[in-house]
Every structure is written in structure tokens, then in C-alpha cells.
Amino acid sequence: MMNKKIGVYSSCVNFIAVICFAMSMLFDFDYCSYFFSMFIAFSFVAMVCGYAHFAEKEVKLAGCVSVAFSVIYAAIILLVYFAQLTTVRLDDLTQQAVALLDFQQYGLLFNYDLLGYGVMSLATLFAGLTIKPQRKIDKWLKYLLMVHGVFFISCLIIPMLGVFKTDSLTWIGIAVLEFWCVYFCPIGILSFLRFRNCKE
């Protein structure tokens, strides 16, 4: 029963965190968006562990791989956003340190952030492989998870191409992230429905 509850609750938290993240960006509350990004990571790991736990024997390895990638993603994301909420926000940094650490400067930690979301995409790809659809919602969930895996390519390549600079148009980045939120919200909802109907 507890395994099922963890899946259900983590899906709910993930959905709420994604909504709060989207709202924070719309109203330009950067530090709130960083805070809720951390809870997307926390809940995502638990949610992916649920996929792995309820996976049938022949797809258990895909579940393990998805868990491994989700942990890597969470570690990167938590380091990036915890740094924004502590060191960047509270310390008097040199100009060079700001260029590297401040997320808004599109420097080192911004690139790590994209890497983190790229690894998250791999986690969803393998999580999708654990689902053997028996209902319509399972088919949609599997499709959304696996298509989300495509984001890995762009998240890996974009930092290497130096697409984002300090003089880049901010609204473009916000629009991309809002699109991601719209895409990812159904994953939280469908995951909730899937876990609610799982049998221990």
C-alpha cells in the first residue's frame, strides 16, 4: 500500500511543482522558480522509482536505468538551484564568479541545468519503456514519456553551440520553458491515475 501511495503522492507533488514553476516564470519570480524546480526534482525521482517498482519483470532493467538517470538529473538540478538560492542570492560575488554561477548569466550553471534536463529526458524515455499499456491513459503516458526523451538531444547540443548569451531575448527562454510545463503537466496527471490503479 505504501508503494502505491508514494507513486500517487509524488505524481501530485510533481504536477503542483510544475504549475508553480510555470506561474513563477510568468510573474518573473526567479527565486520562486528555482525553489519549485527543486521540488520537481524531488518528486520526479520518487515518481520514476514508482515506475520501476511496478514494472513487469521483462522491463525491470529499463526501470532501473530510468531511476539511475533520474538520480543524476536530480543531483545536477539541486546543485544548480540550491546555489542560486544561497550563494548567488546571499553572497557578494566577484564579476567573474557571477558570470559562472548566476543562472541569469547563461554561464556554467545554466549549462549544467540544460545537461540535467537532458538526463531527465533519458529518464523519461526509459520510464516509458516500463509501461505495457492496458488502458488508453497508459498509452498516452507511455507516448508522452518516450517523446519527452527527444529533448535529450537539444539539451545536450545547445550549450555546446553557445545558443544562449547574456544578450539573448529572455522571452524566448521563458516561452520554451512554459511549453515544457504544458507538456509535462499531463505526465503528472496520468502518472497519478496510473499509480492509483496499480495493484500491490
Query: To the nearest whole number, what is the mean pLDDT of the chain?
Result: 91
What is the Cα gyration radius of the chain? 17
Is 89 within 8 Å of 42 (Cβ atoms)? no
Note down the domain range covering 172. 2-196
DSSP-derived letter for residue 167 is T
pLDDT tens, residue by residue, 97-143: 888 888 888 889 989 999 999 999 999 999 999 999 888 999 999 99
pLDDT score of 61? 97
**C-alpha cell, 181:** 510545463
Q: Which three cell numbers stand for residue 59?
A: 522491463
The pLDDT of residue 68:
98
The confidence score (pLDDT) of residue 19 equals 97
| Burial class of residue 154, CB neighbours in 10 A (0-12, 13-18, 19+) | middle
- Averaged over 50-67, what is the pLDDT? 95
Distance in angstroms (rounded) separating the CA atoms of residues 72 and 43: 14
Q: What would you measure as the largest C-alpha separation in the chain, in angstroms?
A: 56
Retrieve residue 67's grid coordinates. 531511476
- pLDDT, residue 117, reads 95
Cell of 187: 505526465
Task: Give 95's pLDDT tier (boundaries 50, 70, 90).
Answer: confident
Structural domain count of the chain = 1
**C-alpha dist (Å) from residue 19 to 68, 122, 195:** 25, 22, 20
Asked whether the beta carbons of 182 and 144 are under 8 A apart, the reply is no
Residue where the block lists cell 518573473: 28
